[in-house]
Amino acid sequence: MITRLSRCLALVASLVSGLCVAGSATPPALSGLDAAYPALDALYRDLHQNPELSNHEEQTAAKLVLRLRALGFEVTERVGGFGVVAVLKNGAGPVVMVRTDLDALPVREQTGLPYASTVTTRDDRGESVPVMHACGHDVHMVSWLGAATLLAQSKNRWKGTLVFIGQPAEELGQGAVRMLQDGLLTRFPKPDFVLGIHDTNLLPAGKVDAIAGPASAASNSVDIVIHGKGGHGALPHLTVDPVLIAARTVVTLQSIIAREINPLNPAVITVGTFNAGTKRNVIAEEARLELTVRSYKPEVQQQLLAAIARIAKAEAAAAGAEREPTVTVDPHEAAEVVYNDPAMAARLNAALRRGLGDANVQAIEPTMASEDFGAFGRAAGAPSLQLRVGVIEPDAFEKARSAGQLMPGVHTPFFAPDRERTLRAGVAALTLSTLELLGERSR
């Protein structure tokens, strides 16, 4: 009985205390988290139940604007679309930009949560699609607003300027550039540091990390249209079958990774869609492939793109196609490498260990997923860093790891963060990191 009671008390303490290790005191900067948490939790469930697609984040942005103004921030709406910029000045000191993303994905939620999204809407092509925060941007927004809340309540602990930005259209790789083009760095204070956050299923909930160096890969979207010669399915010798050419292309593209790229350089080519034809006994006129291409080095990025075009054209020529494939690299759906400044990473990891305890700061590997967060730091010429925060319930995480598996992660319909531990860790990590960059007084 005593052991069971002790375990229960320990669990409650870990949630309430802002994720400090046993026996350590809650950092003063996080003392307001318990009082703020119920409202943050309610906002999370609201955002999760009411997601909005990229470039349609109007109501999402409005909810954040309302709360930021109540905290005393000077807020500007519709920056680069539905982007939000909130500024809080508190004397002379560093300018720290803290970014969240706003948009959700066209995914049908299958988590079974009582607050699961049931939203469907029309996308930009006019098609009816389900919508879900399958990438955890609701986690990011609530962590961001929670940090804004604690920082606004503790202005006696820091000097400087906060620039909290809510970025639209991250999932399209468009929002950061559009905010910059709309004067983010000229209309508002230019940052000395840029800080962000991203959830991950590679860590249990309550654990955080600041990866040093490359953290997320560069991304390119490539479209290939194979032009064939259609005809009757029973008379293939009178046609040039674009489906066969496209199928050969899909397979041969992987030889780029296997035989052309240095194995020490990370690279990914994924064919995400393959569309052709209208009827089983009709050979189509064309086939369409949509690719995502990931890399860390600019020279590898260019090598991949050139090899994709070469192979597509060669497969078509080998099949006797009269017209070369059309290969298009979408300039509007791309992202550069997210590079976490090493000195900033060392500084923040030290601050997080002091505030949360060594056991709650766990190193993880970079990812081949992509983000447009890095655009802000590059444009400002300022060091930037995107924190990682774990989302998986700890026991489930350990059970899956013991079995050599991972719990469902982002961009899946089963992505379900361990809500309270995740949100408290996200708020704590952003708050402590921002205070460190501002030069917190009276540690």
Domains of the chain: 19-217+337-438 (3.40.630.10), 219-335 (3.30.70.360)
pLDDT reported for residue 440: 75
Q: Give the residue-averaged pLDDT of 56-60.
A: 98
d(CA 435, CA 150): 10
Return mean pLDDT, the chain: 94
> What's the farthest any 2 CA atoms get from each other in the chain?
82
According to DSSP, the β-strands at 83-90 and 384-392 are unpaired
pLDDT reported for residue 14: 46
58-to-83, 269, 313, 403 alpha-carbon distances in Å:
9, 34, 43, 42
Tell me phi and psi for residue 408, to 5 degrees.
Answer: -55, 135
pLDDT over 60 (residue 22):
no
| Side chain identity at residue 71, one-letter code | L
pLDDT over 90 (residue 19):
no
* Residue 429 · residue 143 · CB < 8 Å: yes
256-to-24, 263, 300 alpha-carbon distances in Å:
52, 11, 11
> What proportion of the chain, given as a percentage, has pLDDT over 70?
94
pLDDT reported for residue 129: 97
pLDDT over 90 (residue 7):
no
pLDDT over 70 (residue 416):
yes
The encoded tokens of residue 84 equal 């939000």
d(CA 227, CA 277): 12
187-to-82, 87, 163, 196, 329 alpha-carbon distances in Å:
16, 11, 12, 21, 32
List pLDDT tens digits, range 256-265.
999 999 999 9
pLDDT over 60 (residue 11):
no
Reported confidence tier of residue 443, pLDDT bands at 50, 70, 90: very low
pLDDT reported for residue 24: 52
Selection from 284, 264, 282 nearest residue 274 by Cα: 284
pLDDT over 50 (residue 23):
no
pLDDT reported for residue 355: 96
d(CA 298, CA 170): 21
Residue 192 neighbours by CB distance under 10 Å: 18
pLDDT reported for residue 41: 98
Q: Give the residue-averaged pLDDT of 334-338.
A: 92
pLDDT over 90 (residue 36):
yes
d(CA 304, CA 97): 34
pLDDT over 90 (residue 337):
yes
pLDDT over 90 (residue 9):
no
Q: Give the residue-averaged pLDDT of 56-67.
A: 98
pLDDT over 80 (residue 210):
yes
d(CA 144, CA 142): 5
pLDDT reported for residue 333: 86
pLDDT over 80 (residue 25):
no
List pLDDT tens digits, range 230-251.
999 999 999 999 999 999 999 9
d(CA 139, CA 381): 28
Q: Give the residue-averaged pLDDT of 395-409.
A: 96
pLDDT over 70 (residue 3):
no
d(CA 430, CA 97): 11
Q: How far apart are the first and last CA of the chain?
A: 40
Selection from 95, 71, 104, 66 nearest residue 195 by Cα: 95
List pLDDT tens digits, range 80-112.
999 999 999 999 999 999 999 999 999 999 999
pLDDT over 80 (residue 218):
yes
441 CB-contact burial (10 Å; exposed 0-12 / middle 13-18 / buried 19+): exposed
pLDDT reported for residue 139: 98
Tell me phi and psi for residue 112, to 5 degrees.
Answer: 75, 10
Residues 6 or more apart in contact with residue 179 via CB below 8 angstroms:
79, 80, 81, 83, 85, 165, 167
d(CA 288, CA 310): 16
Q: State the Cα angle at 82 between 187 and 44, rounded to 5°.
A: 115
d(CA 192, CA 176): 17
d(CA 388, CA 372): 15
According to DSSP, the β-strands at 384-392 and 208-209 are antiparallel
